Amino acid sequence: MRIDRLFIGLGKAVAVCMLLLWSLVPIAFVVISSFKPGREIFAVPPRHIFTPTLEHYAALWSRWGVFFDGLLNSAIITVGATVLAVVASTCAGYIYSRNSSRFLNGSVLFLIVVRLIPPIVITLPLFPIVNFLGINDTHGVLMVLYATFFVSLGTVLMRTFIDQIPRELDEAAQIDGAGRLTILRRVIVPLASPGILAVAVFVVVFAWNEFLFAFIFTGTNAKTAPLVISEMIGSIDGVDWGILFAASTVQLAPVLLFVVFMNRFLVAGLTAGATKG
């Protein structure tokens, strides 16, 4: 008995450590390397003690100004996509939670199934349409696209959250004189805010990091930071790894901070409905 438990405990500890190493080592490597003097980045054996330098960040600023334009574009698109997805998911989740009809029940299944189709299958045919409308290379296209990808998951998530808010609250508000929109704004949204934040985290992380659709639908005006980073790899005068790591660190930092900050809401979102129907 004792021994068994010891082994299980040991196993758990090892598993957690492996998981941590697996996810943290690459990030740590990138972040630490961005502060190393150029020659020491790939030194063998690796140098763990070094004098930190900001030279790569300075070079990034002076030589890759376009990267900071990309960051701004990424920020605009991320915020826009998040707002769109959150508003649409919350409204739809509310409708799904409070109404029931054969059409609604059937379409929930559709919402889940549609997530299983590889996004590229739906997206590529959009290319000519986007061109035809002349909205290629605008922030709006990516905002709508990114939001669209998360509205289905967001709706299912929001419905689960809103299902936990007793209907009597809607009814009490109705008697108090609130219309549907007021009920949504003043009762449902405040009480479902953990769910809203969870959906927001999903969209933010996706939109901030997304590469493929940004590559297809943007060129210069709305080029996002991940695209610029990929250009650094392919630049003619060879890859300057220091600058690349500095750029990656800058790209990584905001979303990492955001996720750490929102962590508890994210967990709440993932376990929604686990304890209460």
**What residues make contact with another protein under the rule CB under 8 A?**
166, 168-169, 171-178, 182, 186-187, 190-191
Give the Cβ contact number of residue 125 at 10 Å.
Answer: 9
d(CA 271, CA 267): 6
CB nearer another protein, residue 99 or residue 220: 99
Residue 212, both tokens: 């493929």
Closest approach of Cβ 94 to another protein, in Å? 16
Closest approach of Cβ 157 to another protein, in Å? 20
Residue pair 229/244 in contact (Cβ under 8 Å)? The answer is yes
């953990």: which residue's tokens?
A: 194
Closest approach of Cβ 165 to another protein, in Å? 9
d(CA 158, CA 249): 33
Closest approach of Cβ 167 to another protein, in Å? 9
Closest approach of Cβ 189 to another protein, in Å? 10
CB nearer another protein, residue 70 or residue 93: 93
CB nearer another protein, residue 32 or residue 191: 191
Residue pair 34/251 in contact (Cβ under 8 Å)? The answer is no
What is the CA 277 to chain-centroid distance, rounded? 27
CB nearer another protein, residue 65 or residue 190: 190
Residue pair 77/146 in contact (Cβ under 8 Å)? The answer is yes
Closest approach of Cβ 149 to another protein, in Å? 31
CB nearer another protein, residue 175 or residue 233: 175
d(CA 255, CA 32): 18
d(CA 74, CA 227): 10
DSSP 219-233: SSTT--HHHHHHHHH
Nearest Cα to Cα of residue 78 among 136, 152, 126, 150: 150
CB nearer another protein, residue 84 or residue 187: 187
